[in-house]
Amino acid sequence: MFFLVGLIRKRAPVHSKTGCCLEVKRIGDDMKNLLQSMVKMNRRGASAISAFCLLVILLFCRFTYGRQQIAQFGITWTFDKDYTVGQFANGDYWVIGPVTIIKIDPTSVELNGRMINGSMINPSPRLGQTQGYDSAMYGKFARPGNYDPGLNVARPNGRDLSESNPLVLQPECSLVSAISTARAESSTILQTAAILTILGSSAPEGSFRPPYCGADKTIRFNISQLDYSLLAGLKPVPGAPGLSTVERTFERPWLDHVPNWPNSYLHPVDNMPGFGRELATEIGVGALMLNLNFENARKETLLIRYLQLGIDLYGIIQDGGKDNWVNNGAHNSGRKWPILFAGLMLNDPCMKNIGRPDIPDYGPLHPEYVHFGEDDQTFYVSQVDVDATHSTQWNPDKRDPQRIPYEQEDIGLPEWGIVHAISPYRSNKFWNTAYRRVSCPSWGGFVLAAHIMGVKDLWNHDALFDFKDRYMQAATDWRQMSRFVEAMWDTYRKDYDPVWTMSPTLNVVAVGGSVAKVPDKEAYTLGERVRLRAVADPGYEFAGWSGGLSGMENPVAIVMHTKRTITANFTTASKYPKSRGGK
């Protein structure tokens, strides 16, 4: 019996979930021989020994392989013969090439004028919005050329994949295969995706998959490099999600190589969130879960999957994607933390220093600057912003009901602007400016994780951290998309000094009347509510608010999210009362 177990190990070594290496034909033959031996033992009445042998097979051959095939996430790759295959630490497959693929299931076919279920080799951000997965990509925003049939390698020479029309792949490439959604009108066009990496030799046990972007498939990272001592062991707050739920979020590859907001159409439904706000939220949830007091063995699956995400995101940057996640509403937040975190845990200086703390005055104007939505959108108000919002070029979002410029008193305030890094003329001091309360509620998890792990300096953008402190104190609703993240922030943020705050003042100007403030203070707590009531002097009537407030509502409640100067406007009352009822 133990000879048989040794045979499996010798002929086709199988490892734990952190990696495996099998030769498909040999492992199938060995299992067949073992089963035949079990039948003979059963004839002799050795049922206990048979059961034990079956258990050995299940333990040492935890994956089932059809000959000449690999299947993952509903996608099956069929080869022309048997090849040596294996799995990376996160479970994604590799095969030693050159390899000839004669079928990818589901098949890439044209359905009602739509080409579906495409595959790409080394997809790159340098292609922009051009892709080969699905001809319906980007829906109503699609443009001619967005789908390139030449990039869909699931249809070599524009024909069905087959033995007579195979796909031959050389080592050092990644095959990304997708399944399309049933409806072309979906906001996300792909249902799922899986990655097959073609290598020139076997990957060492415990290896992380190289990024799917780019032609460099060098194996650089291994689970043996992980430093669990960098992770905290905080007590979970009530309502923390189940570990398995969060593990599932990061189980499948996140496709994010298309630049800017159209990337949401690319995000496979079963693999990742579609909208950037939810994507950033889940990244924050995962970051905090890894810093809870689970034993290291329980953290392993989530940690491996999370680090693979960071490696993939950095691969996008390396392949020309440094502008992929430029500020744009709530689409492009969250990608920086997985990269920095992977650098920490794997001790990789390039990923660890993604924030470039080595470069003085690093920012959007620097030629090496990498755009991340949360950095692009946060800043300290400067004289440049005061001047911009008082110029004729000032053009805040048309959806904003109020236009409030920055004043001298605002200089130094940590602030948010929808596209501030590329166009400060679009920023608006108005608290409810478009997308502030859409984008910012997704940041708390990874910002808090950076505080917990003591890497704010590595992040190298203090305005994000100070604005997040300000936001969490001033926001009365939409503080965080995740209640778990919000509870973690309220429980633990105070433990990691300093916490940015301010005591905002309220200056009310009134000519022709007065304004009652409740409460009436010299300075307020950040986020405090104040009730204003304008009272006209005899001969005057209230004509509305201006300055840091607009509209006719009176009385009105305001929130002290910053220093505010508000003018109550009064006009001379009409000599004759307004007629009523036509009289």
Q: What is the pLDDT of residues 500-511, one digit of tens each?
A: 999 999 999 999
Of 438 and 63, more confident: 438
Mean pLDDT on 164-174: 98
Can you tell me the distance from the alpha carbon of 75 to that of 195, in angstroms, rounded to the nearest whole number? Answer: 10
Burial-class residue 31 by CB neighbours within 10 Å (0-12, 13-18, 19+).
middle
Note the pLDDT of residue 574: 77
The pLDDT of residue 37 is 52
- Please check the confidence at residue 28 and state whether its pLDDT lies above 70: no
- Model confidence at 22: pLDDT above 50: no
Residue 11 scores a pLDDT above 50:
no
Return d(Cα 1, Cα 91) in angstroms, integer: 29
Q: Starting at the edge strand that comes first in sequence, how are the strands of the sheet with 99-105 ordered? A: 69-72, 75-79, 99-105, 167-169
Q: What pLDDT is attached to residue 576?
A: 55
- Taking the complete model, does pTM exceed 0.75, yes or no? yes
pLDDT at 174: 98
Residue 186: per-residue pLDDT: 79
Q: Is the predicted pLDDT of residue 559 greater than 90, yes or no?
A: yes
pLDDT, the chain, mean: 90
Write down the pLDDT at residue 64: 34
Closest Cα partner for 60 from 1, 3, 17, 25?
17
What would the mean pLDDT of 161-188 be, rounded to a whole number?
95
pLDDT for 151 equals 98
- Tokens matching residue 561: 């999210």
pLDDT of 10 strictly over 50: no
Residue 311: band (very low, low, confident or very high) from pLDDT cuts 50, 70, 90: very high
What average pLDDT does this structure show over 420-437? 96
493-506: average pLDDT: 96
Q: Residue 290's pLDDT is what?
A: 98
Q: What is the tens place of the pLDDT at every residue in 526-557?
A: 999 999 999 999 999 999 999 999 999 999 99
Q: What is the pLDDT of residue 185?
A: 81
- The answer to whether the CB of 558 falls within 8 A of the CB of 579 is no
Q: Residue 254: pLDDT above 80?
A: yes
Give the SS3 label for residue 311.
helix
Q: Tens of pLDDT along 194-236? A: 999 999 999 999 999 999 999 999 999 999 999 999 999 999 9
The mean pLDDT of 554-581, rounded to a whole number, is 84
How many C-beta atoms surround the C-beta of residue 556 within 10 A? 15
Q: pLDDT tens, 34-62?
A: 445 544 444 444 455 555 554 444 444 43
pLDDT at 39: 45
180 strand-pairing partners: 190
What is the rounded distance in angstroms from the CA atom of residue 111 to the CA atom of residue 129?
22
81 has a pLDDT exceeding 70: yes
pLDDT at position 314? 98
Distance CA(332)–CA(114), nearest Å, equals 28
Q: What is the pLDDT of residue 3?
A: 40
575 three-class SS: coil
Task: List pLDDT tens digits, range 101-128.
Answer: 999 999 999 999 999 999 999 999 999 9
DSSP 179-228: EE-S-TTSSS-EEEEEEEEEESSPPPTTBPPPPSSSS------BGGG--G
Residue 407 one-letter amino acid:
E
For residue 14, the model assigns a pLDDT of 33
Please tell me which residue, 99 or 40, carries the higher pLDDT value: 99
**pLDDT tens track for 263-297:** 999 999 999 999 999 999 999 999 999 999 999 99
**Least confidently predicted of 10-24, 319-333, 402-416:** 10-24
What is the pLDDT, as a whole number, of residue 259? Answer: 96
pLDDT in the model for residue 47: 55
pLDDT higher than 50, residue 406: yes
Give the tokens for residue 305: 């999957």
